[in-house]
Amino acid sequence: MTLVVFTALLFVGSLAAGALGSLTGLGGGVVLVPLMTLVFHVDIRYAIGASLISVIATSSGAAAAYVREGFSSVRIGMFLEVATTIGAIFGSFLATHIHTQALAIIFGAVLIYSAYLSWQQARNPVPDMGKGSPWSDKLKLSGEYPGRDGKPCRYEVEHIPGGAAMMFGAGTLSGLLGIGSGAVKVLAMDRIMKVPFKVSTTTSNFMIGVTAAASAGIYLHRGFIDPGLAFPVMLGVLCGSLAGARYLVRARVSLLRTVFTWVILALGVEMIANGVMKL
């Protein structure tokens, strides 16, 4: 395979990953890392480094549009990002001391768990409405977002400590595996804190860039970010995330989530199988 063909195929794959990551809030890294390791045979550490750069691009591309349209909650994102960033730094240090095959197995397990979460959210797309809490009132985390008819929909946030604890775990996974760990972020906001799905999805996109930036600095220092890999991946994910942000309002999220669930489930099983065979 020539360098031009390799770069073109990597760009196309990153384009699709960016669109899916933007629409679902799970981050494109869950597709990018298996794509680069299984299809293009890139070392997983360099794949994770390129994925972290692309996650920053996803957040930069989609988050600006979501904030402008009134879907993302900047207050929730900035508050929870403190716990996520601490977790990302912790996970990045762990990644430099864990064997490559072990990383592949861990990554596969996270993919399968993400598929389970996507399936659960497709079956139960509307959680119970939150009742609020003293913490959310003091921090002013409750808010509103645009409804289908253009009228604002009010929501109340609850279980702040539980959501923050989940965010620390999400950040650790991001630093360890080079993904946006959007599945855990969306789960924490949607299921624990009772944030509406579209708000949790778009706020997750807003957060993953900061989390990835904290991890990317450590990967750069360790020499695991290759510009030749990172540039086409970043460009493809950026274009895909912008396209996904425009499509979100009228997208059939349930169909997209079903397709995404089966794709990452297959990739997760493949990653675990490859990791076990190479141990």
Average pLDDT score over residue span 75-81: 88
Which are the contacts of 214, defined by CB distance < 8 A and separation ≥ 6?
A: 85, 88, 89, 92, 171, 175
- CB of 149 closer than 8 Å to CB of 136: no
**Which of residues 40 and 197 earns the better pLDDT score?**
40
Cα 214–Cα 268–Cα 177 angle in degrees, nearest 5: 15
pLDDT digits (tens, 9 = 90+) for 92-123: 787 777 776 777 787 778 778 877 876 776 66
Q: Sketch the domain layout of the chain as residue ranges.
A: 3-278
Closest CA to 62 of 110, 37, 25, 11: 25
Tens digit of each residue's pLDDT (9 = 90 or more) over 136-174: 778 888 888 887 666 788 888 888 888 888 889 878 877
* pLDDT, tens only, 11-45: 998 888 888 777 766 666 677 878 888 888 888 88
**Which amino acid is it at 247?**
Y
